[in-house]
């Protein structure tokens, strides 16, 4: 099946498996779960001999391939690693209408995924939209995550993070061709992406076909940076939960990120569980996983010891 419609009327497309033949160095077998009539892809590796399960949450416009350099050292440390592709990205189904994407739906879909997986003693690493979703859930459900690692993300409550983000919003809506591979490459400060990496980030969106790219196009406009955004009250409520959170929170931040580099102190200062943790900053850009993947994995492994 390459196209379909859910019971709630969401029309979607499914990226052909052959599109991922260009992916190199990410030889993990995808698994799938039905979420509201949409197929959500995820990777589940390792047996968790360490007693820890590490959930890796990507953002926009990437997919689990972003963690290709982090997964091997996490597995070597004995952890179970679970990495889902958000609906609209990676190997997951892609609703074709921009109106089918909302912040609240993505929070709901990830909650459904977590319920299905019955994950326990969970450490989550979240970046970009992975954090917008994860931090919201953590604020809503204090016991969902035992530990949180944050990297270049946040939980907005109606204010803009600044001109760089506003420029990205405008670019995302006006650029004639949204080349996701080149977009990731352009944010890297310390690493030049190989052509195979660019191809892998473009693989979910064959020929840059806009019908596959609806999620990637609309995600920047879904961030609640205006006071009238419908998710602002729920995010404010979630912040109250985060402000009372004593469970550990670790910040591993890329200071070369023009979008969110300056936001590094926010979570550390507002979440009690961040106190006295071994936070680290790096010189990398927005997609830290691709510039400092092994170092990030080492920091997580050392922390979990």
Element (H, E) at 166: helix 163-174
Question: Per residue in 214-250, pLDDT tens?
Answer: 999 999 999 999 999 999 999 999 999 999 999 999 9
Residue 185 CB partners (closer than 8 Å, separation 6+) = 192, 193, 197, 198
Residue 290 CB partners (closer than 8 Å, separation 6+) = 66, 69, 184, 188, 191, 193, 197
CA distance linking residue 238 with residue 235, whole number of Å = 5
Q: What domains can be seen in the chain, in order of their start residue?
A: 3-304 (3.40.50.1820)
Q: What is the pLDDT of residue 280?
A: 97
CA distance linking residue 274 with residue 262, whole number of Å = 17
Q: Average per-residue pLDDT in the chain?
A: 95
Residue 163, exposed/middle/buried by CB under 10 A (0-12, 13-18, 19+)? Answer: exposed
3-state secondary structure of 293: helix
Q: What is the pLDDT of residue 15?
A: 97
Query: Is 36 a residue of the active site?
Result: no
Burial 92-119 (b: 16+ CB within 10 A, else e): bbbbbeeebbebeebbebbbebbeebeb
Angle between helix 129-140 and helix 232-243 axes, rounded to 10 deg: 70
Q: Which of 69, 93, 197, 257 is catalytic?
A: 257
> Residue range 117-129: average pLDDT?
92
Could you tell me which of 123, 111, 113 has the C-alpha nearest to residue 51?
123
Q: Which of 79, 128, 197, 292 is catalytic?
A: 128
CA distance linking residue 262 with residue 34, whole number of Å = 38
Residue 120 has pLDDT above 80, yes or no: no
Question: Per residue in 86-115, pLDDT tens?
Answer: 999 999 999 999 999 999 999 999 999 999
CA distance linking residue 7 with residue 157, whole number of Å = 32
CA distance linking residue 261 with residue 269, whole number of Å = 15
Under the banding of pLDDT at 50, 70 and 90, the label for residue 164 is confident
Query: Is 128 a residue of the active site?
Result: yes
Lookup: tokens for 86 = 């958000």
Query: Is 93 a residue of the active site?
Result: no
Question: Per residue in 252-267, pLDDT tens?
Answer: 999 999 889 999 999 9
> Residue range 186-212: average pLDDT?
92
Lookup: tokens for 260 = 């969110």
3-state secondary structure of 94: strand
Q: What is the pLDDT of residue 225?
A: 95
Could you tell me which of 58, 68, 60, 64 has the C-alpha nearest to residue 32?
64
Q: Which of 52, 58, 106, 286 is catalytic?
A: 286
Q: With 0.95 as the threshold, say if the pTM is over it.
A: yes
Task: Quote the percentage of the chain above a pLDDT of 90.
Answer: 91
């Amino acid at each position: 099946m390459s196209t379909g419609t859910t019971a709630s009327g969401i029309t979607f497309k499914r990226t052909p498996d052959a599109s991922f033949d260009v992916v190199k160095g990410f030889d993990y077998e995808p698994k799938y779960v039905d979420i509201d009539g949409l197929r959500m892809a995820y990777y589940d590796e390792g047996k968790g001999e360490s007693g820890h399960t590490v959930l890796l949450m990507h953002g926009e416009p990437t997919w689990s391939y972003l963690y290709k350099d982090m997964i091997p050292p996490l597995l070597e440390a004995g952890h179970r690693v679970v990495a889902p592709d958000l609906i609209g990205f990676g190997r997951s189904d892609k609703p074709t209408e921009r109106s089918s994407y909302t912040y609240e739906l993505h929070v709901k879909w990830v909650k459904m995924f977590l319920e299905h997986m019955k994950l326990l003693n969970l450490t989550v690493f979240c970046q970009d939209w992975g954090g917008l979703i994860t931090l919201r859930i953590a604020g809503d459900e204090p016991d969902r995550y035992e530990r949180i690692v944050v990297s270049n993300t946040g939980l907005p409550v109606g204010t803009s993070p600044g001109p760089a983000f506003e420029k990205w919003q405008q670019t995302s809506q006006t650029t004639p061709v949204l080349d996701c591979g080149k977009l990731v490459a352009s944010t890297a400060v310390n690493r030049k992406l190989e052509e195979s990496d660019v191809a892998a980030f473009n693989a979910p969106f064959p020929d840059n076909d806009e019908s596959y790219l609806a999620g990637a196009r609309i995600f920047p406009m879904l961030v609640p940076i205006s006071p009238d955004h419908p998710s602002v009250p729920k995010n404010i409520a979630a912040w109250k939960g985060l402000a009372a959170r004593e469970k550990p929170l670790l910040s591993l931040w890329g200071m070369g990120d023009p979008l969110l580099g300056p936001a590094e102190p926010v979570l550390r200062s507002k979440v009690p569980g961040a106190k006295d943790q071994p936070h680290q900053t790096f010189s990398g850009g927005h997609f830290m996983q691709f510039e400092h993947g092994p170092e990030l994995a080492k920091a997580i492994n050392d922390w979990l010891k």
